[in-house]
Amino acid sequence: MTEAYRRRTTCRMCGSPRLDIVMRCEPTPCGDHYLPAARAGEVQPCYPMDVAICLDCALVQLPDVVNPELLYREYIYNTSISLGLSEHFDRYAARLADWTGAAPGSLVLDIGSNDGTLLRSFKARGFAVLGVDPARDQARRANAAGVPTENAFFTEALARELRTARGAAAIVTANNVFANVDDLPDLVAGIRAMLAPDGVFTFETGYVVDLVRHSVIDNFYHEHLSYFSVLPLERFFQAAGMELIDVEHVETKGGSLRGMVQLAGGPRRANREAIDRMAAAERDGGFDRPDTYRAFAARMDEVRRDLRQRLLEAKARGETIAGYGASVGVTTLLYYWGLDEVLSYLVDDNPARHGLLTPGHQLPVLPSTVLAERRPDWVVLLAWRYADPIMRRHEAYRQAGGRFLIPLPAVREP
């Protein structure tokens, strides 16, 4: 892919041409492309962000694909700084080691391994580990920390090279990255090439059912190309010579789906009760139908109108407004809600964001300590899923008269 972006006309999972657009988000720049202050004034292109459902397999997806070289080579997100994720991955590694029965010393391959957080937990349990990640800085950090990492995109061709060099993998993981890949058949062919005959592929990815039910609209951004549910996944793996053998609902990232997959004819018995239960709940909830997602879009439009009205009225009264959070998903919210008109700046707890400018709008990102110093009248909690710990941390701001506004799932002042 040499162009900046392209628009698919077929489903990336089953190849069907029957894609139905169910929601149109505002076009945005690459959501994680925060700029240093020295590049102020630089124009960043915006890319479309329509949301579609495949009328044949029910995969929810973005038809517009931004060139992954633009998205990931200079990626700045680090797993280790995400609240609670390191602990989650340590528990995850312990459970996988126990569940698979993989022998110490056997190989664990992590696709999209970022800074090596998950692999460090496997390494501490005696496994050989190998990461694959296209982000230069993350791969460098992981290697420096003793986690061998290939700085590359994972493909079938690379998998065959790694299989020759390192042998088969007992466990292949892909957490919060499975949704980021456009060529899913090639990804799965690579996983198949890496797995030992009794190996397990496991992934965690955003669960579209939770996204809709909990109004996690900030999970829609260009990196997330697919929004998974059990129904299309089971069909897809079967067609790819693999078998979905277990599924589980987990709480991370606003609600995620964990799946376990083996080669077709593998030794493990599928947990049909769990798979069938989740698939039936998806059908009963209408998550295989376009009208469910159109209703979600209508609900999000109501939130947008309510929030904008409140903030525009506050600004007309001369009140000052800041935003809390500077993640990739915040870019979606800033554009979808048109918040560049009302926010003076953002604050964030991640030092790596401080001093940067938001993609496109170029709002400054400051340390959250400035809330006590500048005392804006309002703080919109764009990192709304962490509202409680944020408000506890800044109780002094509220005691001094500051007011928080939580935008989702519905606008409210706590």
Give the pair of three-digit tokens for residue 292. 């469910």
pLDDT tens per residue across span 289-321 = 999 999 999 999 999 999 999 999 999 999 999
Average pLDDT, the chain: 93
pLDDT tens per residue across span 156-211 = 999 999 999 999 999 999 988 889 999 999 999 999 999 999 999 999 899 999 99
**Angle, to 10 degrees, between the axis of helix 230-239 and the axis of helix 272-284?**
130
**Cα dist. 71→47, 79, 134 in Å?**
12, 16, 10
Band of residue 277 on the pLDDT scale cut at 50, 70, 90: very high
Q: Among 352, 347, 355, 351, which Cα is nearest to 378's? A: 347
Q: Which residues contact 325 (CB under 8 A, 6 or more apart)?
A: 346, 348, 381, 382, 383, 384, 386
As a whole number of angstroms, the distance between CA 85 and CA 235 comes to 30
Q: Give residue 138's pLDDT.
A: 84
Segment 151-160 mean pLDDT: 94
pLDDT tens per residue across span 318-367 = 999 999 999 999 999 999 999 999 999 999 999 989 999 999 999 999 99
Q: Among 213, 220, 207, which Cα is nearest to 258's? A: 207
Q: Among 52, 15, 7, which Cα is nearest to 184's? A: 15
Q: Among 94, 250, 262, 113, which Cα is nearest to 175's? A: 113
pLDDT tens per residue across span 379-402 = 999 999 999 999 999 999 999 999
Place of tokens 């169910």: 22
Per the DSSP assignment, residues forming a β-bridge with 281 are: none
Q: Give residue 177's pLDDT.
A: 87
pTM for this predicted structure? 0.90
* Mode of pairing for the β-strands spanning 345-348 and 365-367: parallel
- Compute, in degrees rounded to 10, the torsion defined by CA atoms 245, 250, 254, 256: -10
Segment 111-133 mean pLDDT: 91
Contact 129, 123 (CB under 8 A): yes
As a whole number of angstroms, the distance between CA 151 and CA 144 comes to 13
As a whole number of angstroms, the distance between CA 250 and CA 95 comes to 13
Q: Which domains does the chain have, with CATH numbers?
A: 1-52+307-414 (3.40.50.720), 79-288 (3.40.50.150)
pLDDT tens per residue across span 53-67 = 999 999 999 999 999
Q: Give residue 139's pLDDT.
A: 86
**What's the N-to-C CA distance of the chain in angstroms?**
46
3-class SS letters over 184-209: HHHHHHHHHHHEEEEEEEEEEEEEHH
Q: Give residue 86's pLDDT.
A: 74
Rounded to 5°, angle at Cα 25 from 23 and 31 = 135
Amino acid at 229: S
Phi-psi domain of 193 (left: phi exceeds 0; alpha: psi -120 through 50; beta: other): alpha
Q: Give residue 175's pLDDT.
A: 87
